[in-house]
Amino acid sequence: MSIGTDISLSSYDEDQGSKVTCKAREAPFVPIAMAGFAAIVTYGLYKLKSRGNTEMSVHLIHMHVAVQGFVVGAVTLGMGYSMYKEFWAKPKP
């Protein structure tokens, strides 16, 4: 009972991988923002044990502000890059 469509799991995986790389090429600052997010969180967890007499809530607020600032900055740069590509770098007809 074949319907006539041959969909294999390997072609599905390749399609998903190529879709992710295509999206990363369209908006290169999103993967950078995700990597920065992971790096700042890792650094914050590492520094958690040597925070001294700083309260835990203050440490977490500082980490939240750092991560949020990095991600918002990366997304803003990505939007600026996209606008540049779309409006200024386009060849004139």
Residue 4, sorted as left (phi over 0), alpha (psi -120 to 50) or beta, turns out to be: left
Residue 65 φ/ψ, nearest 5 degrees = -65, -40
Note the pLDDT of residue 65. Answer: 93
**Gap between the Cα atoms of 10 and 36, Å rounded:** 31
Residue 12 has pLDDT above 80, yes or no: no
**Local confidence band at 37 (pLDDT 50, 70, 90 cut-offs):** confident
> In degrees to the nearest 10, what's the CA dihedral of 48, 49, 55, 61?
0
Give 9 or 68, the one with higher predicted confidence.
Answer: 68
Q: How far are the Cα atoms of 1, 17, 18, 45, 72 from residue 9, in angstroms, in the given order?
A: 19, 12, 14, 38, 36
Say what the pTM is. Answer: 0.60
- Which whole number is the average pLDDT over 59-79? 88
Give 14 or 43, the one with higher predicted confidence.
Answer: 43
- Which whole number is the average pLDDT over 22-27? 76
Top-ranked range on mean pLDDT: pick from 2-6, 9-13, 61-65, 81-85: 61-65
